[in-house]
Amino acid sequence: MPADTYVLAKDRPYSAGPANAQARSVFAVTPSDTLDVTNAGQADPSTLYAKALYIGVSGDVSVIAVEDTSNAGAGTARVFKAHPVGYMPVQVRRVMATGTTATNILALCD
Protein backbone atom coordinates (compact mmCIF):
# COMPACT_ATOMS: atom_id res chain seq x y z
CA MET A 1 0.00 0.00 0.00
CA PRO A 2 1.44 3.42 -0.91
CA ALA A 3 2.42 5.62 2.03
CA ASP A 4 0.20 8.40 0.72
CA THR A 5 -3.05 6.59 1.47
CA TYR A 6 -5.32 6.54 4.49
CA VAL A 7 -4.41 3.78 6.96
CA LEU A 8 -7.26 2.58 9.16
CA ALA A 9 -4.84 1.31 11.82
CA LYS A 10 -3.62 4.89 12.39
CA ASP A 11 -7.13 6.23 12.84
CA ARG A 12 -8.30 6.64 16.42
CA PRO A 13 -10.44 3.64 17.36
CA TYR A 14 -13.72 4.58 19.03
CA SER A 15 -13.01 1.90 21.65
CA ALA A 16 -10.30 4.26 22.96
CA GLY A 17 -13.04 6.67 24.02
CA PRO A 18 -14.64 9.66 22.35
CA ALA A 19 -12.54 11.77 20.01
CA ASN A 20 -13.17 14.87 22.13
CA ALA A 21 -11.45 13.34 25.17
CA GLN A 22 -8.31 15.10 26.33
CA ALA A 23 -5.12 14.40 24.40
CA ARG A 24 -2.51 12.20 26.06
CA SER A 25 0.44 13.12 23.84
CA VAL A 26 1.65 16.41 22.35
CA PHE A 27 4.53 16.89 19.92
CA ALA A 28 5.83 19.42 17.41
CA VAL A 29 4.75 19.10 13.78
CA THR A 30 7.06 19.56 10.83
CA PRO A 31 4.79 20.15 7.82
CA SER A 32 5.43 17.66 5.03
CA ASP A 33 3.81 16.91 1.70
CA THR A 34 4.76 13.22 2.04
CA LEU A 35 4.72 12.25 5.73
CA ASP A 36 1.66 11.79 7.94
CA VAL A 37 1.36 13.34 11.40
CA THR A 38 1.45 10.49 13.91
CA ASN A 39 2.74 10.05 17.42
CA ALA A 40 5.39 7.57 16.26
CA GLY A 41 8.51 7.78 18.38
CA GLN A 42 6.64 9.11 21.39
CA ALA A 43 6.38 7.29 24.71
CA ASP A 44 3.22 5.61 23.43
CA PRO A 45 4.37 3.27 20.63
CA SER A 46 1.06 3.42 18.78
CA THR A 47 0.97 5.55 15.67
CA LEU A 48 -2.30 7.43 15.69
CA TYR A 49 -3.20 10.43 13.58
CA ALA A 50 -3.54 13.80 15.35
CA LYS A 51 -6.89 14.42 17.00
CA ALA A 52 -6.36 18.21 16.86
CA LEU A 53 -3.68 20.80 16.22
CA TYR A 54 -2.52 23.79 18.20
CA ILE A 55 -1.37 26.70 16.03
CA GLY A 56 1.31 28.78 17.80
CA VAL A 57 1.81 31.49 15.15
CA SER A 58 -1.15 32.37 12.94
CA GLY A 59 -1.18 31.76 9.20
CA ASP A 60 -2.58 29.42 6.58
CA VAL A 61 -2.77 25.74 7.54
CA SER A 62 -3.05 23.18 4.75
CA VAL A 63 -4.17 19.76 5.98
CA ILE A 64 -5.55 16.41 4.90
CA ALA A 65 -8.30 15.29 7.26
CA VAL A 66 -8.09 11.81 8.78
CA GLU A 67 -10.89 10.18 6.80
CA ASP A 68 -10.36 12.00 3.50
CA THR A 69 -9.83 9.14 1.07
CA SER A 70 -10.40 11.17 -2.10
CA ASN A 71 -7.76 11.28 -4.81
CA ALA A 72 -7.28 7.48 -4.85
CA GLY A 73 -6.83 7.38 -1.07
CA ALA A 74 -4.20 10.12 -0.91
CA GLY A 75 -6.71 12.73 0.25
CA THR A 76 -7.10 16.31 -0.85
CA ALA A 77 -5.42 19.17 0.98
CA ARG A 78 -7.75 21.81 2.40
CA VAL A 79 -6.44 25.22 3.45
CA PHE A 80 -7.65 26.98 6.58
CA LYS A 81 -6.85 30.57 5.60
CA ALA A 82 -5.40 32.91 8.23
CA HIS A 83 -5.98 30.49 11.11
CA PRO A 84 -5.54 32.37 14.38
CA VAL A 85 -3.36 31.27 17.27
CA GLY A 86 -5.20 28.52 19.12
CA TYR A 87 -6.70 25.09 18.67
CA MET A 88 -7.77 23.65 15.35
CA PRO A 89 -10.33 20.95 16.29
CA VAL A 90 -9.89 18.81 13.19
CA GLN A 91 -8.59 15.24 13.17
CA VAL A 92 -5.63 15.47 10.81
CA ARG A 93 -3.45 12.90 9.12
CA ARG A 94 -1.12 15.31 7.32
CA VAL A 95 -0.08 18.94 7.64
CA MET A 96 1.13 19.94 4.20
CA ALA A 97 4.31 21.97 3.72
CA THR A 98 2.81 23.43 0.54
CA GLY A 99 0.28 26.05 1.53
CA THR A 100 1.10 26.15 5.25
CA THR A 101 2.46 29.46 6.53
CA ALA A 102 1.50 29.04 10.20
CA THR A 103 4.31 27.93 12.50
CA ASN A 104 4.89 26.46 15.94
CA ILE A 105 2.28 23.79 15.25
CA LEU A 106 1.67 21.09 17.85
CA ALA A 107 -0.22 17.84 17.29
CA LEU A 108 -2.44 16.41 20.00
CA CYS A 109 -2.78 12.63 20.04
CA ASP A 110 -3.84 9.80 22.30
**Is 21 inside any structural domain?**
yes
Range of the structural domain that residue 78 is part of: 8-109
Residue 1 lies in a domain: no
Condensed to tens digits (0 to 9), the pLDDT of residues 37-54 reads 876 655 554 567 888 999
| pLDDT per residue as tens digits for the range 57-100 | 999 999 999 889 899 888 999 999 999 999 999 999 899 999 99
pTM: 0.80
With 0-12 / 13-18 / 19 or more C-beta atoms within 10 angstroms meaning exposed / middle / buried, residue 75 is: buried
Q: How many distinct structural domains can be found in the chain?
A: 1
Tell me if 2 is assigned to some domain.
no
